[in-house]
Amino acid sequence: MTADKVTKIRAMKGRERIAALTVYDFAMAKMLDAAGLPLLLVGDSVGMVVLGYPDTTCVTMAEMEHHVRAAARAKPQSLLAADIPYGSCATPAKAVENARRLIAAGAEAVKAEGGRNILPQIQAIIADGIPLLGHLGMLPQNALVEGGYHVKGKIEEERLGLIADAVVLEQAGAFGIVLELVAAPVAQEITATVSIPTVGIGSGPHCDGEILVTTDLLGTSPGYIPKHVKKNWHLAEQIRAAVVEWKESVVHPGGP
């Protein structure tokens, strides 16, 4: 079943654009799966939008397993992937151990940040029979080291490095690549270079699809909504209004 889902996503390249979103719990997985998305990701963005951490580097394996289990109980028809969190992919043995833990929790694939710098880990995961989704460009787990979130590929060295990383991921057997905050022309070039799908986030319109943090799309993320989120349903305001209206009905049950 998992193999069929992975094959379906790979086959979408050049035929049908891929729409993907993050999930963190049972209810959201049920709702998003009903929308017919081919890919759902239990992202380590859970740390920022659910757990209240300042960035993704605080998220633990145990926390990822917890949220994967919750989403997996929805039994989605979508492929359910999960992020290998910060510090959990340091060696090939560690990468395989933690990828297995996510699969045991209910994930059907894993996502790892990096290319040539973690090639042995990627190869080990794939050799273990676990489908892998790559992640290039701005790597949130490196945001502290790099001093924030910056668009990648603006200089020639970065452009060449990103292309080389994408080719390495393809050759290693990744079934797709997330391109985060990659300069649009470079994302387009990578998409044309590799035979596996690219799924962009803040990387322009020429990837094979797009992934967003669901709470950014819905407008319920606390605080900042990234500027690459072109559609935002501002549900936080509607939720607040609904709660205020209900509260008033409790406090003043007979009306004014």
Distance between CA atoms of residues 172 and 216, nearest Å: 32
Structure tokens at 108: 């059907």
Q: How far apart are CA 211 and CA 185, in angstroms?
A: 18
With contact defined as beta carbons under 8 Å apart, do 195 and 13 qualify? yes
Helices (H) and strands (E) in the chain, counts: 11, 8
**Alpha-carbon gap, residue 118 to 112, rounded angstroms:** 9
Instruction: Of 140, 113, 112, give the one whose Cα is nearest residue 126.
Output: 112
Active-site residue, selected from the candidate residues 65, 108, 113, 180: 180
Does the annotation count 180 as an active-site position? yes
Give the active site residues: 180
